[in-house]
Amino acid sequence: MSLLEISSFAAGTWIAPGAGARTIASAITGEPFATAGNNALDVQAMLDFARDTGGPALRKLTFHERAKMLKALAQALTARKQELYALSFNTGATQSDHLIDIDGGIGTMFVFASKGRREMPDGHVYLDGDVEQLSRNGTFLGQHVCTPLQGVAVHINAFNFPVWGMLEKLAPTLLAGVPAIVKPATNSCYVTELAVKIMLDSGILPAGALQLVSGGLGDMLDRLTCQDVVSFTGSADTALKLRQNPAIVENSVRFVAEQDSLNASILGPDAQPGTPEFDLFIKEVSREMTTKAGQKCTAIRRIIAPQAQVDAVIEALTARLSKTVIGDPRLETTRMGALVSNGQKADVLAKAEIIGQEAERVFGNPDDFEVDGADADKGAFVPPMLFHCADPDKASRVHDTEAFGPVSTVMGYRDLDHAVAIANRGQGSLVTSVITHDPAVARDVVMGAGAWHGRIYINNRDSMKESTGHGSPLPHMVHGGPGRAGGGEEMGGVRGVKHYMQRTAVQGSPEMLTRIGEKWVPGATEIQGPAHPFTRRFGELEIGETLHTASRTVTMDDIEHFAHFTGDTFYAHMDEDAAKRNPFFPGRVAHGYLLLSFAAGLFVEPNEGPVLANTGLDGLRFMKPVSAGDSIKVRLTVKKKTRRTDEYGEVRWHVTLTNQDDEMVAEYELLTMNAY
Ligand code: NDP
């Protein structure tokens, strides 16, 4: 049978395997079925194509335009996901594993598309945090801004998630405006290749935005500069080797690593057998052990249970694991497929041997287990293997050996401090979970273990129906961990996008900051529009366009009327003596809400027009009380505009209320939806 040729996509051309190509075997049969790699790949041309063609094209687009592109890519992948499923069985993955890898990857892209639209501007500069006041009179200010790196992101991915592993890095990279060169692990690169083909075929991406290396990277890393990023997922050994590359060290190339992790799950002291938490714990642990045949960076490797419950945990896990049907992943009855390769199987068995030096095997014999529909000796099958370590304090290997398969070790703890100490023996992990119904237990775990783990997952009877699972990294939340886990961070919403951008502290006058950030800063020019701003359409309004209203005197009758009309007869508005006793007030004062209502009355243009709705108000501050006899006036300025659809957009107005002495009384941002 001829081997499937897995190509690279370099500088706009598909390059078939050539000299130095590696053979890839099916996880199910162990038979070679594909080949990938070509020593003649021109890596410099790839870097140039990304830097000179892909980067400039992406940077021309706004965050919103790039977000829309992500959504369209996710839709293109969705339309052809059956093809991805069909191919991916060869990696040993079952249909439910595909849902994590393929659907999970596409879902991640959709989330970034939506976050890009909702949380990032329809512009080119991302403002990081608020304006910093650097001078007494506000003529010199500071603002952190993020702009896209001008190089290329090299993504080196692990074999276990050929689709999700690519998309979770690609989505934030493209959203940032940076082109990517994706290098999947060779063992499963054929699935990634198809996903890349689908994305390129869709014609959505500008040329140079996405390239693919199937097989070896050659000397690409030697050619990286300070504008490039390496984002790596795989073994700690490879990460150590790659991050020491002289070009990476000399040029301070960003190196994001997500590597080995001895994740733990703690059964809370309150979660006795018979409680919903105990059953949930058993379910989560066995699911984490067997999903993707345990080849998950977040899988539970260490099961930490109260000493008194260790036997019950082993018994319950054994009962559940023994029901795991192992077999050809294409069979509907199969619950656990194969490891990715026989090389990986040998590695898992060797690591299980090492763990076995400190722990007793209580379930799973790799020399004696059933495999449905495939040859156990030829395919990369192993059974789930459960160990019990009686003395986790003395042991070391159980805390530092990651058997990247369905292998996990139960260990007992004396008290919660001990449980936390055991969890932290992993020297930095991606995720630790605690299954408890006691918030005090959860808090102690977060305080004791937070510094050692990138994510803490808490679950119990209240959240279990909707919880997403210990092992699922979510695009909204950071994925990564300290120490052994690599010290990197990915995803986490917009945080993940910033890994591909440079944060720069920009200092200057309000006018400069306004023009750079496309967001009005107090002190910058106020533009006098041709008409009342509420009569102007979204597209017509300019940043800085300002309305100054007439003033209105607040009377005691107004305060009385408002109090009785709304029912807000709080003493500060109604009782002169009581108000005077309050250190904040000179006597009876106007309600803050009365001032807001008067402000609206002053600035509003009542006729039907382009303002469609008032959608909210942000950052409201009352600075100075207003007494009867004082007068207020309003300044209303277009601060920021965000297009939402082709029909309307959001206008953020800067609103300040001042009194007769020009002292600031209140300040806030008003949000309206305006017709385009
Ligand atoms: P590797 O570290 O061997 O490979 C990871 C990636 O690095 C692959 O794309 C690989 O490509 C690439 N790579 C390897 N050497 C080089 C090099 N010299 N230059 C450039 N790229 C290189 O990890 P695997 O994916 O093979 O998994 C092995 C082990 O890693 C697992 O058994 C597990 O212990 C751990 N792992 C941990 C994960 C985690 O997040 N905790 C995730 C996945 C794996 P190629 O395949 O072509 O060699």
Give ∠ CA 106-111-113 in degrees, rounded to 5.
95
> 37 near 215, Cβ under 8 Å?
yes
Mean pLDDT, rounded, for 519-539: 95
- Residue of minimum CA distance from atom 10 in ligand 1: 185
Reported as a single tens digit per residue, the pLDDT across 418-431 is 999 999 999 999 99
How many whole angstroms separate alpha carbon 602 and alpha carbon 600?
5
Ligand 1 pocket check for 649: Cβ under 6 Å: no
Distance 187 CA to ligand 1 centre (A): 10
Determine contact, residues 220/193, Cβ cutoff 8 Å. no
Contacting residues for 347 by C-beta, under 8 A, at least 6 apart: 403, 404
For residue 175, give Cα distances in angstroms to 113, 148, 265, 380, 521. 8, 9, 34, 38, 26
Quote the radius of gyration of the chain (alpha carbons, Å).
Answer: 30
pTM: 0.93
- Residue 154 Cβ inside 6 Å of ligand 1? The answer reads no
Q: What secondary structure does DSSP assign to 476-515, as a single string?
A: TSEE--SGGG-S--EESTHHHHHTTEEEEEEEE-HHHHHH
Give CATH for domain 526-675.
3.10.129.10
pLDDT at 645: 85
What per-residue confidence (pLDDT) applies to 179? 98
Domain covering 264-464: architecture: 3-Layer(aba) Sandwich (3.40)
Q: Decide: 233 in ligand 1 pocket, CB within 6 A.
A: yes
Which residue puts its alpha carbon closest to atom 30 of ligand 1?
A: 235
pLDDT tens per residue across span 651-660: 999 999 999 9
Cβ atoms of residues 515 and 532 within 8 Å = no
Contacts of 621 (CB under 8 A, 6+ apart): 666, 667, 668
Q: Ligand 1 mean position to 208 CA, how many Å?
A: 25
pLDDT of residue 1: 63
Q: Look-up: residue for tokens 């004082």?
A: 630
The whole-number pLDDT of residue 646 equals 86
Q: With contact defined as beta carbons under 8 Å apart, do 320 and 80 qualify?
A: no
Measured in whole angstroms, how far is the alpha carbon of residue 428 from the centre of its chain? 19
- The answer to whether 505 and 149 have CB atoms below 8 angstroms apart is no
Which residues are 638's β-sheet partners? 653
- With residue 664 as reference, give the H or E element that holds it: strand 664-675
Confidence at 243, pLDDT banded by 50, 70, 90: very high
Residue 43 near ligand 1, beta carbon < 6 Å: no
H-assigned helices in 5-62: 43-48, 55-60
- 348 close to ligand 1 (CB < 6 Angstrom): no
How far away, in angstroms, is 236 Cα from ligand 1 center? 8
- Residue 297 designated active-site: yes
Catalytic residue of the set 189, 193, 277, 297? 297
β-sheet bridge partners, residue 154: 181, 230
Name the catalytic one among 193, 258, 288, 545.
Answer: 258
Whether the CB of 102 sits within 6 Å of ligand 1: no
Residue from 155, 159, 430 to probe ligand 1 pocket by mutation (most atoms less than 8 Å from CB)? 159
Q: Identify which of 41, 230, 235 to mutate to test ligand 1's pocket (most ligand atoms within 8 A of the CB).
A: 235
Q: Distance from the CA of 341 to the center of ligand 1, in angstroms?
A: 13
* 626-656 pLDDT, tens digit each: 999 999 999 999 999 998 888 999 999 999 9
Q: Report d(CA 77, CA 197) in Å as an integer.
A: 10
Give the pLDDT confidence score for residue 309 in this predicted structure.
97
CA 203 to ligand 1 center in whole angstroms: 31
Residue nearest to atom 20 of ligand 1 (CA): 217
The 8-class DSSP code of residue 372 comes to: B
- By the 8 A CB rule, do 314 and 74 touch? no
Provide the pLDDT confidence category of residue 517 given band limits of 50, 70 and 90.
very high
Q: Which residue, among 618, 604, 624, has the nearest Cα to 650 in the 3D structure?
A: 618
146 is catalytic: no
- Amino acid found at 310: V
Contact 458, 434 (CB under 8 A): yes
Q: From ligand 1's centre to the CA of 353, what distance in Å?
A: 21
- What's the 237 CA to ligand 1 centre distance in angstroms? 9
The reply to whether ligand 1 has any atom less than 6 angstroms from the CB of 90 is no
Which residue shows structure tokens 């002292």?
663
- How far is the centre of ligand 1, averaged over its atoms, from the C-alpha of 186 (Å)? 9
Task: Tell me the β-bridge partners of 138.
Answer: none
| Integer Cα distance of 396 and 269 in angstroms | 24
pLDDT at 2: 84
The span from the first CA to the last CA of the chain, in angstroms, equals 60
347: Cβ below 6 Å to ligand 1? yes
For ligand 1, say whether the CB of 275 is within 6 Å of any of its atoms: no
- The H-assigned helical ranges of 357-479 are 397-400, 416-424, 439-449
Q: How many CA atoms lie within 13 A of 52 on its CB side?
A: 8
Q: How far is the CA of 259 from the centre of ligand 1 (A)?
A: 9
> 654 C-alpha vs ligand 1 centroid, how far in Å?
51
pLDDT digits (tens, 9 = 90+) for 552-606: 999 999 999 999 999 999 999 999 999 999 999 999 999 999 999 999 999 999 9
Q: Taking the domains of the chain in order of start, what are their residue ranges?
A: 4-122+147-258, 264-464, 526-675
Please tell me the residue having the least CA distance from ligand 1 atom 9: 185
Q: Is residue 633 in contact with ligand 1, taking CB distance under 6 Å?
A: no
Q: Is 236 near ligand 1, meaning CB less than 6 Å away?
A: no
Phi, psi of 122 (to 5 degrees): -85, 55
Q: What is the pLDDT of residues 191-235, one digit of tens each?
A: 999 999 999 999 999 999 999 999 999 999 999 999 999 999 999
Distances (CA, A) of 271 to 40, 274, 279, 470, 481: 59, 8, 9, 17, 27
DSSP 3-state of 7: coil
Q: Average pLDDT of the chain? A: 96
Residue whose CA lies nearest to ligand 1 atom number 47: 186
For atom 29 of ligand 1, which residue has the closest CA? 235
Q: Does domain 4-122+147-258 have CATH number 3.40.50.1000?
A: no
**Assigned token pair, 59:** 């940077």
Task: Tell me if 160 CB under 6 Å of ligand 1.
Answer: yes
Contact 211, 49 (CB under 8 A): yes
User: Model confidence over 488-500: pLDDT tens digits?
Assistant: 999 999 999 999 9
Q: What is the 3-state secondary structure (H, E, C) of 543-588?
A: CCEEEECCCEECCHHHHHHHHHHHCCCCHHHHCHHHHHHCCCCCCC
Residue keyed to tokens 């992101």: 153
Shortest-distance atom of ligand 1 to CA 22: 47
Measured from the CA of 159, which atom of ligand 1 is nearest?
Answer: 25
Portion of the chain with pLDDT greater than 90, in percent? 98
Q: Is the CB of 259 under 6 A from ligand 1?
A: yes
Residue labelled with tokens 């592993």: 165
Nearest protein Cα to ligand 1, atom 28: 235
- Whether 578 lines ligand 1, by a CB cut-off of 6 Å, is no
What's the 156 CA to ligand 1 centre distance in angstroms? 8
Tell me, using a 6 A CB cutoff, whether residue 188 lines ligand 1: no
Q: What is the pLDDT of residues 172-189, one digit of tens each?
A: 999 999 999 999 999 999
Structure tokens belonging to residue 186? 């060779």
Say if ligand 1 is within 6 A of residue 261 CB: yes
User: Over the stretch 271-293, which tens digit does the pLDDT of each residue have?
Assistant: 999 999 999 999 999 999 999 99
Cβ of 490 less than 6 Å from ligand 1: no
Beta strands 546-548 and 631-643: pairing type?
Answer: antiparallel
The CA 185 to ligand 1 mean position distance, Å, reads 6
Distance CA 205, CA 219 (A): 26
